[in-house]
Amino acid sequence: MARPEHPIEGFWLPGGLQGSHPLGWNECFAHQAHDILGLASGELTESVAATFEDGYRVAEIVDATQSSADARSAVKVPFRS
């Protein structure tokens, strides 16, 4: 359930009306569609969704995790600017 400080909170009914229903796949898909349509129409200039930079960082972390497991020692994550 989205709390008042959460970026997607305004998209759903307040907690007292909606109860304690968690946000699941359907709700996440609705958020994705809402953001895509908002970005395409120009109404939304920024999204809370992951960016390409976020994806790059995750890929570097996954690669470093595999290297660390192979080496059986800590490996520094090689983030590039």
Q: What is the pTM of this model?
A: 0.48
Instruction: Write out pLDDT tens, residues 31-47.
Output: 888 888 888 888 877 76
Provide the H-helix boundaries in the chain. Answer: 15-18, 25-41, 52-71
Task: For residue 64, name the pLDDT band (cuts at 50, 70, 90).
Answer: very high
